[in-house]
Structure 1
Amino acid sequence: MLPLELRNTWRRLARKPGYSLLSIAVLGVGLGAVLFLFGLVNGLVLEPMPFPHADRLVAIGYAQPKNVGVDNMSSDEYAAIDGRLDTLELTGIYNETGVDLVSDRGARHYPGCEISQNMLPLLGVQPLLGRNFSAEDMRAGAALSVLIGERLWRDVFGASQDVVGRAIRVNGEPASVVGVLPGDFAFPSDSQVWLPTRLRTGDAFDVDVVARLAPGATLSQARAALDNLAESLGNDLAGQRAGRELTMKPLSLIFVNERTRSYVWLMFAAGVLVLLLACSNVANLQLGQTLDRQRELAVRSALGASRGRLLREQLLESLLLALGATVVALAIQQLGASWIRDVFAANGKAPPYFVHLGLDWRLFLFALVAAVSSTALVGMAPAWRASRTDVHDDLRDGAKGSRGGAFARLAKGVVVVEIVLTVILLIGAGTFIRGLNRMLATNVGSQADASHILTASITLFPSQYPDAESQARLVDGLGQRLRAEADVEAATIGNTIPGARLGSHEFVAALGQPRPPNGYAIAQMGTVDDHFASTYGLPLTAGRFFDARDLFDGADVVVVEKTLADLLWPGRDPLGQQLVLHPQAEKPRTLNVIGVIASMQLDGAMQASLPSMLVSTRQFPLRSATIAVRTRASATAFVPRLESLVAGVDAQTPVYATFTQARAIEMSRISAVVLTQVFTFVGLVALLLAAAGLYGMLSFSVAQRTREFGIRRAVGAGAGAITACVARQLLWQVVIGLTIGIGLSLPWSNVLADPKLQTRGHEGGVFFVVIAVVVVVAFLSALLPLYRALRVDPVVALRYE
Structure 2
Amino acid sequence: MSMVTNMIRALRALFRSGEVERELDEELQDFLAASIAEKMRRGMTPEEAARAARVEMGSSNVVKHRIRSIGWEATMENLWHDLRYSLRTLAKSPAFTLVAVLSLALGIGANTAIFTLVRQVILQQLPVGDPEQLVSFGNLHASGMLGGVDLSFLDMYTYDFARQLEAAPGPFAGVGSYASMSPRVNLRVPGAALAIQREATLVSGNFFQVLEARPMLGRTIQPYDADAPGRSPVAVVGYRFWQQSLGSDPNIVGKTMDLNAARFTIVGVMPQGFHGLKQEADPSDLWVPETMADAVFLSSNLLEPRSNYFLQMFARSRPGVSMAAESDWLDRQIRAYVRAGESKTPTADREKEIGRLHQPLVPAAEGVSEIRNRYSDALGILMAIVALVLLIACANLANLLLARTVIREREIATRLALGSSRLRIVRQSLMEALVLSLTGGAMGLAVAFLVTRGLIAFVSRGTNGIPLSAVPDAGTLLFTLGVSLFAGLLFGLAPALRIARSSAGPVLNAGTRTAGSAGGRDGRWWPRALVTGQITLCLLLLVGAGLFLRTLARLEGQNFGFDNTHLVFANVDATLAGYKPEQAPALNRRILERLAAIPGVRAAALSDTPPMSYGSWNSSIHPQGYTPAPHEDMSPILKRVSGDYFAATSTPIVAGRAITPEDTASSQKVVVISQAVARHYFPKGDALGHTLTIDIDTAGPWMIVGIAADTLGLGPRRDRADTLYLPLAQLVGPHGEGTQESFASSVTLRTTGSPDQAVQGLRAAIASIDPNLPVLDVRTVQEQMSLFLSQETLVSRLAALFAGLAVLLAAIGLYGVMSFNMVRRVHEIGIRMALGAGTGAVQWMVLRESLVLFLAGIAIGLPAALGLANLLRHQLFQMSPFDPVTFAVAIGGIALVTLLSAWLPARRAARVDPMTALRCD
Asked if TM exceeds 0.5, the reply is: yes
Q: CA deviation at 1:554?
A: 7.9
Residue of structure 1 equivalent to 2:737: none
Aligned partners of 2:317, 2:628: CA distance in 1, in Å?
Answer: 35
Task: Tell me: CA distance 1:664–1:552, structure 2 relative to 1, closer, same or farther (3 Å).
Answer: same
Distance verdict in 2 for CA 1:476–1:80, change over 3 Å: farther
- Hey, what does 2:905 align to over in structure 1? 785
Q: Which residue of 2 aligns with 1:330?
A: 445
Out of 409, 422, 425, the residue aligned to residue 525 of structure 2 is 409
Aligned partner of 1:600 among 711, 734, 743 = 711
Q: Secondary structure at the match of 1:96?
A: coil
1:699 aligns with 2:803: no
What TM-score comes out, normalization by structure 1 length? 0.90
Contact 2:646 2:659 in 1 (8 A): no
Gaps of 5+ in 1: none
Distance 2:623 2:454 in 1: 49
Range moving further from structure 2, 597-606 or 141-150: 141-150
| Alignment partners' CA distance in 1, 2:270 and 2:139 | 30
Does structure 1 residue 656 correspond to structure 2 residue 745? no
Equivalent residue runs for 1:300-315 within 5 Å: 300-315=415-430
Offset of 1:578 from its aligned partner?
Answer: 4.8
For 1:418 and 1:15, the matched residues in 2 are separated by 28
Cα 1:655/1:309, change in 2 over 3 Å: same
- Quote the Cα distance in structure 2 between the aligned partners of 1:405 and 1:540: 74
CA distance in 2: counterparts of 1:637 and 1:780, whole angstroms:
49
Tell me whether 1:539 sits opposite 2:662 in the alignment. Answer: no
Q: What is the Cα deviation at residue 100 of structure 1?
A: 1.1
Aligned to 1:152: 241
Contact kept, 8 Å, 1:557 with 1:594, in 2: the verdict is yes
2:686 alignment counterpart: 573
User: Structure 1 residue 743: deviation in Å?
Assistant: 0.5
1:14 maps to which residue?
Answer: 91
Q: Give the corresponding residue for 1:60.
A: 137
Contact 2:598 2:762 in 1 (8 A): no
The question of whether the paired residues in 2 share the 8 Å contact of 1:136 and 1:142 is answered with yes
Equivalent AA in structure 1 for residue 746 of structure 2:
T
Mapped partners of 2:425, 2:379: distance in 1: 41
SS in 2 for 1:490: strand
Of 176, 187, 198 in structure 2, the residue corresponding to residue 91 of structure 1 is 176
| 2:607 aligned residue (468, 478, 494) | 494
User: Which of residues 276, 286, 299 is equivalent to 1:193?
Assistant: 286
Aligned residue type for 1:797: A
Deviation of 1:558 after TM superposition, in Å, equals 3.2
1:231 Cα deviation (Å)?
4.5
1:456 matched to 2:570? The reply is yes
Q: Distance in 2 between matches of 1:589 and 1:305?
A: 97
Structure 2 CA distance for aligned equivalents of residues 61 and 587 of structure 1: 34
CA contact (8 A) 2:873 2:881 kept: yes
How far 1:195 moved relative to its partner? 3.1
Task: Note if 1:346 corresponds to 2:461.
Answer: yes
Residue 214 in structure 1 maps to residue 318 in structure 2: yes
Provide closer, same or farther for how the CA distance between residues 622 and 381 of structure 1 changes in structure 2, counting only shifts above 3 A. farther
Q: Which amino acid aligns with 1:86?
A: G
Deviation of 1:426 (Å): 0.9
The answer to whether the 8 Å contact 2:114/2:379 transfers is yes
- Residue in structure 2 matching 1:627, options 722, 747, 755: 747
Is there any run of 5+ residues in structure 2 with no aligned partner, and where? Answer: 1-77, 143-152, 292-301, 343-349, 732-739
Aligned to 2:29: none
- Cα distance in 1, alignment partners of residues 360 and 557 from structure 2: 36
Provide the residue aligned with 1:442 in structure 2: 558
| Alpha-carbon RMSD | 3.4
Matched, 1:614 2:725: yes
- Looking at structure 2, the residues matched to 547 and 80 of structure 1 have their Cα atoms a distance apart, in angstroms, of 48
What is the CA–CA distance in structure 1 between the aligned matches of 2:450 and 2:574, rounded to whole Å? Answer: 41
Rounded to whole Å, the distance in 2 between the matches of 1:748 and 1:509 is 48
Give the conservation status (yes or no) of the 8 Å contact 2:623–2:693: yes
Q: Does 1:527 align with 2:640?
A: yes
> Comparing both chains, which one has the higher relative contact order based on Cα–Cα distances under 8 Å and sequence gaps of 6 or more?
1
8 Å CA contact 1:509, 1:568 repeated in 2: no
Residue deviations 1:590-609, cap 9 Å, x none? 75433211232222324454
Of 781-790 and 645-654, deviating more is 645-654
Question: Which residue among 114, 125, 143 is the counterpart of 2:213?
Answer: 125
Q: Distance in 1 between matches of 2:388 and 2:599?
A: 58
Larger displacement relative to structure 2 (267-276 or 554-563):
554-563
Q: Residues 34-75 of structure 1, C-alpha deviation per residue, up to 9 Å, x if partnerless?
A: 22222222122222122222222222253699xxx9854454
Q: Does residue 1:109 correspond to 2:193, yes or no?
A: no
TM-score (norm 2): 0.79
Q: Which residue of 2 aligns with 1:709?
A: 829
Residue in structure 2 matched with residue 24 of structure 1 by the alignment: 101
Structure 1 residues 271-310: aligned runs within 5 Å: 271-310=386-425
Contact 2:185 2:576 in 1 (8 A): no
For residues 469-493 of structure 1, the C-alpha deviation after alignment (integer angstroms, 9 at most, x for no partner) is: 5433322222222223444332212
Distance 1:532 1:246 in 2: 42
Q: Does the C-alpha gap of structure 1 residues 28 and 531 become closer, same or farther in structure 2, counting only changes over 3 Å?
A: same
The match for 1:394 is 507
CA contact (8 A) 1:506 1:522 kept: yes
| Partner Cα separation in structure 2 for residue 549 and residue 345 of structure 1 | 42
1:266 aligns to 2:381 (yes or no): yes
Cα deviation digits, residues 554-594 of structure 1 (max 9, x gap): 87643222133223332332223455757xx9999975433
Asked whether the 8 Å contact 2:598–2:758 carries over to 1, the reply is no
Q: Any idea what SS the aligned residue of 1:346 has? A: coil
Structure holding more strand per residue: 1
Could you say if the C-alpha distance between residues 399 and 166 of structure 1 is closer, same or farther in structure 2, counting changes exceeding 3 Å? closer
Retained in 2: the 8 A contact 1:97–1:112? yes
Q: What's the CA shift for 1:17?
A: 0.8
**Highest CA radius of gyration, 1 or 2?**
2
How big is the shift at 1:523? 4.1
Work out the CA distance in 2 between the residues paired with 1:544 and 1:395.
94
CA contact (8 A) 1:32 1:330 kept: yes
Q: Deviations over 1:778-797 (max 9, x none)?
A: 10111111011111222122
Match of 1:773 among 887, 893, 910: 893
Instruction: Count how many residue pairs are aligned between Structure 1 and Structure 2.
Output: 791
Tell me: CA distance 1:379–1:521, structure 2 relative to 1, closer, same or farther (3 Å). Answer: farther
